[in-house]
Chains A and B, each alone.
Chain A
Amino acid sequence: MILLLWKKELESYFTSPLAYVLIGLFSLISGTFFFNLLVTYTDGIQAIPQHLAQEISFVEEVVLRLFANINFLFLIFIPLITMKLFSEEKRLETLDLYWLSPLREWQVVVSKGLAALSLIIAMLFMTVLFPLIIWGVGVRDFSLLGSAYLSVILNACCYISLGLFCSSLSGNQIIAGLLSILGIMFLWMLTWGGHLNSNYLVAEIFSYIGITSHFERIIRGLIGTQDILYYASFVFLFGFLSVKSLGRRNW
Chain B
Amino acid sequence: MSIKNTVMPPLVLTVICTIISCALIFANDATKERVEQINKETLNETLTSAFGEGTYTETDKTFEGVDTIIEGEGGLTVYEITTDGYNSDGIHVLVGIKDKAVKGVSFISCSETPGLGTKVNNKDYLKTYVGIKSESEADDADAVTGATFSSKGLKTAVKLALQADKEVRHYE
Q: Do A and B come from one complex?
A: no
Chain A residues at the B interface, C-beta cutoff of 8 Å: none
Chain B residues at the A interface, C-beta cutoff of 8 Å: none
